Amino acid sequence: MRVAIVHYWLVSMRGGEKVVDALCDMYPEADIFTLVYDERRVSEKIRRHRVIPSFLQKIPGARRHYQSLLPLMPFALESLDVSGYDLIISSESGPAKGITPGPQATHVCYCHSPMRYVWDHYHFYRANAGLPTRLLMPWIAPALRAWDVTTAARVDAFVANSRHVADRIGKYYRRRAIVLNPPVNVDEFAPATELGDYYLVAGQLVGYKRVDLAVRAFTRMDRKLVVIGEGPEMAALKRLAGSNVSFLGRAPFSQLKDMLARCRALVFPGTEDFGIVPVEAMASGRPVIAHASGGVLDSIVPDQTGLLFNEQSEAGLIEAVHRFEAMEGRFRPEDIRRHAQQFSDAHFKQRMQQIIEEEMARRKPAPVSLSGAVRKQPSLRPRVARVKLPDSHLRNGA
């Protein structure tokens, strides 16, 4: 069986690329197709595979400024030849599912999210883009939406990384999706013996993650907050922050593990498709204070592994922190970590394999008996109805 893995772009190792890593374990002989590839910034596991990038790879600066090439992505993706493969697994967040499979191939799409920048985050991305992009997006977005919906028909089975994403697949594509949360390397995290006196925010510093709410709220409360991550919002966040808020930038993994294990709680004020960092915090035995939206509704058990707040505002977060501190002693690290184990890499691979095998079996044509097929062929001779006339007609010369 020839297997192709299609991922939108391979220029870093974030949540989507960790899924590709797991798929590489499942199919060590698979070929990988992608729009843009930077082998220096991906795992050794991915580098061991044959990686085929699109023609965008030849454009100078494409590996750094790939997002500005959005209008060309459908053309680049459809130029990738996957016609000779039996199984195609697309890892979708940017355009990945739009490849053109052969008629006998099985195409399973693991969807991290429908394209945010043309659907539910369209106005956010446009408002925060540069002038050329703001002017161009109203002209290209309708065509991209139409292409995105049309290419959903090329997928045999959708797998969503959360119920939140499954709902969006149903809304935009009118397709049902199986929910399978993404793999998290929970065994790499462990509880600490001693805790610190700080709360933690970790992740990319972009607007939709609402780190600004955490910075404002903790500045008002005068409680220690540590922010790990980098991104375009860094300078603006520092201007909002009081002396009790510290920024560590992009921390090495060893430091991130230590900070997660010793924080009072992870603060997660944004809306994510799933949210890997909250699961990593729980694998470290620490509770999570999160806005009650998106993928955390799949991962957090309220008042057992964390605490959810409904109002996505500074006041809503402050109220949640006060509520957390009133019940902080009730959170048991060993119970929180045990809950996180269900999001393990092994569980993901086992369930994903089952989904793929069931879909391939469903699409496999049933064997046809030649003799049975001959017997069931309709006769080409015209059928003549026989009508029995009453005797009176015969006696009257009819």
Residues 113-165 pLDDT 10s: 998 888 887 887 787 777 888 888 889 889 999 999 999 999 999 999 999 99
| Domain membership flag for residue 362 | no
Instruction: Count the alpha carbons within 13 Å of 182 in the hemisphere toward its beta carbon.
Output: 28
Do 205 and 131 have their domain in common?
Answer: no
Domain count within the chain: 2
Per-residue confidence at 371, pLDDT binned at 50, 70, 90? low
* Beta strands across the sheet bearing 3-7: 51-53, 31-34, 3-7, 87-92, 106-111, 157-160, 177-179
Do 90 and 57 fall within a single domain? yes
pLDDT exceeds 90 at position 66: no
* Banded model confidence at residue 392, pLDDT cuts 50, 70, 90: very low
Same domain, yes or no: 174 and 190: no
- 146 and 230 in a single domain? The answer is no
- Average pLDDT estimate for 354-359: 96
Q: What is the pLDDT of residues 235-281, one digit of tens each?
A: 999 999 999 999 999 899 999 999 999 999 999 999 999 999 999 99
Is 279 in the same domain as 247? yes
Which residues span the domain enclosing 203? 186-342
Q: What is the pLDDT of residues 163-208, one digit of tens each?
A: 999 999 999 999 999 999 999 999 999 999 999 999 999 998 988 8
* Cα–Cα distance for residue pair 209/275, rounded to 1 Å: 11
Average pLDDT, the chain: 90
Asked if the model's pLDDT at residue 394 lies above 80, the reply is: no
Nearest-angstrom CA–CA distance, 266 and 218: 13
Comparing 14 with 317, the larger pLDDT belongs to 317
